[in-house]
Amino acid sequence: MNENSGNVLRIALTKGRLEKDTVSLFESLGFDVSSVKDKGRRLILPIKDQNMEVVLAKAADVITYVEHGVCDLGVVGKDTIMEHGGKYFELLDLGFGKCKFALAGKKGENFYKGYGVKTVASKYTNVTRSFFEGKGMDVDIVKIEGSVELAPLVGLSDGIVDIVETGTTLKENGLEVYEDVAPVSARLIANTVSTKLKKERIDNLIGLIENKLGEK
């Protein structure tokens, strides 16, 4: 089923901070984002002057909606893209939502010491797997759903692979970054068919965004 066959450009935003940053970006482009700012509990919001529609979803769901073509575009973090994979185009680095994936653990300890297989806890098991595969290193990966910093503190793991933004969470829990894994920022993604059927509109939006980002 595809309820997105009209001329409206439908864009899925990751709820929360990326949503706010994207709305600010659209506002700086002169778009009428009043419906998104005053959304209440509504999940589909029109940007009428641009014949656009904003859909609000959780990060991984943004990718699902774009992959299925029910949204033409999506704004999602590179962290989710790296973990989720999938078939869509990554069009633009939006420059906000900056943070990084890092391998971290208890302060002062050497993660690579000794020959035993290390245990690594993460919410991002695919990112963790490919990071250690890249090193040719065998590790046991334990999936944790949140507050991953707890795992090395209670002795579940030797380290974690997680998002580090300010570093405060690590610091306040006696942990430190051992190694950077990958930089993360918000990306504009597109459904592969939409980039053909709505090429002009998407190219136009990209041009506006690139100009605006270039001003900074």
Contact set with ligand PRP (CB under 6 A): 123, 146-149, 162-169
DSSP string, 34-51: HHHHT-TT-SEEEEGGGT
What is the dihedral sign for C-alpha 22, 192, 67, 7? positive
- CA–CA separation, 44 and 216 (whole Å): 30
- CA–CA separation, 22 and 208 (whole Å): 13
In angstroms, what is the minimal distance from the CB of 172 to ligand PRP? 8
Nearer to ligand PRP, 14 or 191 (CB): 14
Q: Supply the DSSP symbol for 139.
A: E
CA 24 to mean position of chain CA atoms: 18
Q: Which of 10, 14, 82 is nearest to 51 (CA)?
A: 10
Nearer to ligand PRP, 20 or 212 (CB): 20
In angstroms, what is the minimal distance from the CB of 162 to ligand PRP? 5
In angstroms, what is the minimal distance from the CB of 210 to ligand PRP? 28
In angstroms, what is the minimal distance from the CB of 98 to ligand PRP? 11
Which DSSP helix (H) or strand (E) runs through 56?
strand 52-57
Nearer to ligand PRP, 136 or 146 (CB): 146
As given in the structure block, the two tokens for residue 59 are 């990060």
Nearer to ligand PRP, 163 or 202 (CB): 163
In angstroms, what is the minimal distance from the CB of 166 to ligand PRP? 3
In angstroms, what is the minimal distance from the CB of 78 to ligand PRP? 14
Nearer to ligand PRP, 40 or 146 (CB): 146
Nearer to ligand PRP, 138 or 172 (CB): 172
Contact between 66 and 74 under an 8 Å Cβ cutoff? The reply is yes
Angle between helices 17-28 and 199-215 (to 10 degrees): 90
